[in-house]
């Protein structure tokens, strides 16, 4: 916004504007992290001679300024027109920043997969979700990029520095006093005790073995579990939704059979069934979702449930003589096959 108004964006102005916008603190280290993630977004300078309108800062003081870096394509406008960041460029920059952050998390995720037993190797482009045990909220903080500092601002940090810089302008008595202070600071305090660090490496925890279970069996179980988690990470959203619907079908099948037994009818309208069952199935809470699950059930259990059209209405026919436990087992078997087959 300041850049589009042809204003010089100083750190003081930017910090206050961001604080007012996000209602949180915005420090220099946050700006440094932005530079580390997207180094080509802005150019950072230390400049002076900028009007401040602030009694705390003089115009002769150095100030950190931030200016967007625009490519030739982004500046493709008449030479007499001022450069501006339009909404399209802002969206592109935000998208690039998001991809850079995602790439950093993927790098930590890759290291986590390599640390598992057994290690897992998967193409980053195929990952759709994180490993269930990956601590997303505990990834290391982003490194802070280097920001330019004001030049020629040497400060005296000790009495020795003061003595070296101003001994020619001080009296003999003041020089002697500074020498005593510098010598006292250089002498280590006897009361300070050195803390010995324990260089012994921490003992490596041995894997807990299960009594009576062979290591080969445990290895096969771990390999099977790792394979299952790997398939889940690379599974597409559409496949994940289909599997979730399949997991709900056993509950829908039980409720559907109970409804037919209660109504004592061979066929019922599908809209009536969807409305009634949506009230008693917490996993499928709306009539529209229940309608989808009933139709999906008719596709996988054609010998037990059929959806037929009669005039302008659709009806559901159900074989009440078939054992519901056999239906549930068949649905669970198909769900497992779908989980194994889906990538």
Domains of the chain: 1-148 (no CATH), 155-179 (no CATH), 237-341 (1.10.10.1420)
Verify cis geometry, omega within 30 degrees of 0, for the bond prior to 325. no
pLDDT at 102: 92
Q: How far apart are CA 270 and CA 295, in angstroms?
A: 9
The secondary structure element, H or E, covering residue 162 is helix 159-166
pLDDT at 204: 45
Question: Which of the listed ranges 60-74, 139-153, 161-175, 323-337 does the model predict with the highest average pLDDT?
Answer: 323-337
Query: Which residues, at least 6 apart from 158, have a Cβ–Cβ distance to it below 8 Å?
Result: 182, 185
pLDDT at 242: 85
How sure is the predictor about 329, in pLDDT bands with cuts at 50, 70 and 90?
very high
pLDDT at position 182 over 60: yes
pLDDT at 123: 83
Over residues 198-249, the pLDDT tens digits come to 445 445 445 555 566 677 776 767 766 766 666 667 677 778 888 888 888 9
Q: How far apart are CA 170 and CA 51, in angstroms?
A: 37
How sure is the predictor about 78, in pLDDT bands with cuts at 50, 70 and 90?
very low
> What average pLDDT is seen over the chain?
80
pLDDT at position 197 over 60: no
Under 8 Å between Cβ of 294 and 318? no
Bridge-partner residues for 268, per DSSP? 316
Query: Which residues, at least 6 apart from 130, have a Cβ–Cβ distance to it below 8 Å?
Result: 109, 136, 233
- Report which of residues 329 and 12 the model is more confident about: 329
In percent, how much of the chain has pLDDT > 70?
74
């Amino acid at each position: 916004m300041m850049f589009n108004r042809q204003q010089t964006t100083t750190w003081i102005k930017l910090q206050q504007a961001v604080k007012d916008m996000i209602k949180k603190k915005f420090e220099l280290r946050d700006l440094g992290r932005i530079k580390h993630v997207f180094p080509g977004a802005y150019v950072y300078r230390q400049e002076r001679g900028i009007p401040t309108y602030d009694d705390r800062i003089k115009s002769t003081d150095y100030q950190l300024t931030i200016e967007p870096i625009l490519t030739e394509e982004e500046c493709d406008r008449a030479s007499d027109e001022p450069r501006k960041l339009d909404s399209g460029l802002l969206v592109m920059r935000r998208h690039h920043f998001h991809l850079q952050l995602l790439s950093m998390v993927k790098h930590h995720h890759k290291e986590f997969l390599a640390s598992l037993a057994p290690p897992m190797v998967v193409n980053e482009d195929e990952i759709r979700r994180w490993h269930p045990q990956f601590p997303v909220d505990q990834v290391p903080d982003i490194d802070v990029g280097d920001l330019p500092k004001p030049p020629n601002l040497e400060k005296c940090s000790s009495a020795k520095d003061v003595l070296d810089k101003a001994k020619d302008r001080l009296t003999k008595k003041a020089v002697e006093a500074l020498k005593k202070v510098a010598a006292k600071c250089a002498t280590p305090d006897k009361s300070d005790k050195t803390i010995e660090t324990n260089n012994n490496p921490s003992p490596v925890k041995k894997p807990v073995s299960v009594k009576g279970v062979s290591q080969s069996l445990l290895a096969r179980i771990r390999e099977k579990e790792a394979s299952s988690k790997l398939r889940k990470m690379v599974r597409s959203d559409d496949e994940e939704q289909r599997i979730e619907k399949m997991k709900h079908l056993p509950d829908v099948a039980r409720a559907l059979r109970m409804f037919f037994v209660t109504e004592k009818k061979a066929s019922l309208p599908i809209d009536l069934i969807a409305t009634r069952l949506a009230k008693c199935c917490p996993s499928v809470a709306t009539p529209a979702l229940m309608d989808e699950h009933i139709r999906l059930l008719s596709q996988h259990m054609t010998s037990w449930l059929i959806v037929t059209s009669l005039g302008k209405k659709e009806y559901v026919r159900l074989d009440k003589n078939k054992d519901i436990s056999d239906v549930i087992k068949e649905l669970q078997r198909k769900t497992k096959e779908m989980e194994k087959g889906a990538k």
